[in-house]
Amino acid sequence: MSDSNYTKIFTGNFMIGQRIVEALEKVNIHAVVRDETESGLLKPVFGGSNSDYQDIFVHNDELNKSIPIVEAINREANS
């Protein structure tokens, strides 16, 4: 995402990404999600796929409010 008004706040597992998006929506933060599902078409050729991974971006105005949410979900997922 080249728009400088948005910052990537998460790259990782689809399931954790969905939890983050849901938590952000609960506080009226509208995230932009980019996943690599289309890249799965290349898996047989290149031996790997990012189809289970997402990038999540938020508008810079909502960044400070978003970071603690992402950190809390990551801590919970890694415990």
- At residue 3, the pLDDT reads 53
Strands (E), 1-79: 6-13, 32-35, 53-59
User: What's the pLDDT at 48?
Assistant: 46
Q: How many domains does the chain divide into?
A: 1
pLDDT at 51 over 80: no
d(CA 19, CA 24): 9
Domain membership flag for residue 1: no
CATH assignment of the domain containing 54? 3.30.70
Instruction: Please state the rounded mean pLDDT for residues 46-68.
Output: 82
Q: Is residue 39 part of a domain?
A: yes
Q: pTM for the full model?
A: 0.77
Residues of the domain holding 23: 6-78
19 belongs to a structural domain:
yes
